[in-house]
Amino acid sequence: MEIKILGTGCSKCKSLEKLTREVVEQNGIEATIVKEEDIMQIMKYSVMATPALVVNEKVVIKGRMPSAEEIKNILTR
């Protein structure tokens, strides 16, 4: 599984990256996590509000900070 955190470096973007890494580690999920800060790359996903969470090239959350439980549910379904 490939997970991308889209964000230009704001505090919410950093928090989403940290929380996602914690959820992956705590639940033994096999995944590669990439933090994408390049605005041109972010725009390729049609994301206008960050942070955003992309799983296997599909935008699953954008413009808000999800809970750990929500991230876990997305990654384990």
Residues serving a catalytic function are 10, 13
β-pair partners for 62? 52
In angstroms, the CA 10 to CA 69 distance is 22
63 Rama sector, left if φ>0, alpha if ψ -120 to 50, beta otherwise? left
